Amino acid sequence: MLGTASAAYAVDWNPVPPTEYRVVPGDTLWSIAGRFLQRPWEWRDVWRGNPDIDNPDLIYPGDRIVLDHRGDQSFLRLDQGGVGSERLSPRIRVTPLINPVPVIPLQAIVPFLTRPQVIEAEALDNMPYVVDLAEEHVIGGPGDRVYVRSIHADQPVDFTILRPGQPYRDPDTAAILGHEAAFIADATLEITGDPATLAIQRSEKEVRIGDRVIPARRFDLGSGFFPHAARRGLRGHILSVLDGVSQIGQFSVVAIDRGRNEGVQTGDVFEIWQKGESVRDTIKPEFGEKLVGNEVRAGVLMVFLPYRRVSFALVMNAERFIHVLDSV
């Protein structure tokens, strides 16, 4: 029987975990953890990185991960004889010219890291906006110029043009938590002033009067985070499923109604719960009771991009059909 990594916290190992595993291209930290653990987000509790090497928590294709035991404790470590690493000195680990395995499948979330998808509720009214298009155009595309109000002289020259969409609302209070933001175009500043002149460089949709403008930026997920259980007692709901799909399943990107204001962090893992089925007492119908069963777990999601009041998360496991307004 496998022991826990900590006397204060019980880790659920798989019934028959492998004694070792060789990392292959296409693996993620989540998929590797799932080979050993029933709850992959407990990886940090059982991983023992080597303090004598740089970046001891990074794992590369070719590395060999070993399940080891010390007394009544079980843990995972990197075998220093693995293909993916070679120990040459106490503080040097030479790795092949390849990237470490990502925490989660990056192809599922890259569009959400390169383009803003949320306009914060408090920011909408104060954002720079397209007030008109040059040369009497009604809509604009690459090569066209637009006039924008409220751009300050000290702002950068690269901008993203967005279009506000439906609001994200708190399911309990109906308060607006933010707005969906559709990417419209990339643009560069040509002439400062009020209005400033921007040149459209690349667009996915035609630019229109009223579109909002923000400095271009990229969200860097990086590799310095680990999946971990969200703060105890933090509950919320799935607000929407993104990327133009209607079904929610494994690797769907969803928005939840909790964000940095509530302490949500990158890597937070939430279980997804659904209301139990309603049943009626037919044995003693005089009571007329309509009973609701216990909540049923439907899957697991992990936050990869928290905003102030909403967060984007990737559904890691789907055990049932998942729906908007399911609890997390």
pLDDT tens-digit readout, 51-67:
666 677 889 999 999 99
pLDDT tens-digit readout, 65-118:
999 999 888 999 998 654 444 444 444 555 556 788 999 998 888 888 877 789
- Residues 209-235 have a mean pLDDT of 85
- Cβ-proximal residues to 18 (8 Å cutoff; 6+ apart), any chain: 35, 36, 67
Alpha helices per DSSP H over 105-238: 110-114
Task: Please tell me the distance from the alpha carbon of residue 147 to that of residue 137, in angstroms, as a whole number.
Answer: 11
Single out the residue of 60, 58, 50 nearest to residue 80, CA to CA: 50
- Residues 289-318 have a mean pLDDT of 91
- Residues 109-132 have a mean pLDDT of 88
The backbone torsions φ and ψ at residue 199, rounded to the nearest 5 degrees and listed phi first, read: -105, 130
- Domains of the chain: which residue ranges? 20-101, 111-215, 228-318
Single out the residue of 163, 328, 318 nearest to residue 230, CA to CA: 328
Distances (CA, A) of 89 to 86, 93, 94, 156, 167: 9, 8, 10, 44, 55
SS3 143: coil
Q: What percent of the chain has pLDDT over 90?
A: 64
Second CATH level (architecture) for the domain 228-318:
Beta Barrel (2.40)
Single out the residue of 183, 200, 300, 309 nearest to residue 244, CA to CA: 183
Residue 116's pLDDT is 76
Res 225 pLDDT > 80: no
pLDDT top residue among 123 and 57: 123
Quickly state the pLDDT bin for 155 (edges 50, 70, 90): confident
Q: What percent of the chain has pLDDT over 70?
A: 85
Q: Would strands 47-48 and 73-79 be described as parallel, antiparallel, or unpaired?
A: parallel
pLDDT tens-digit readout, 240-275:
998 767 789 999 999 999 999 999 999 999 999 998
Which of 74-88, 224-238, 281-295 is modeled with the greatest confidence?
A: 224-238
249 contacts 298 by C-beta, under 8 angstroms: no
Quickly state the pLDDT bin for 179 (edges 50, 70, 90): very high
Residue 4's pLDDT is 45
Q: 296 - beta bridge partners?
A: 274
Q: 300 - beta bridge partners?
A: 271, 317
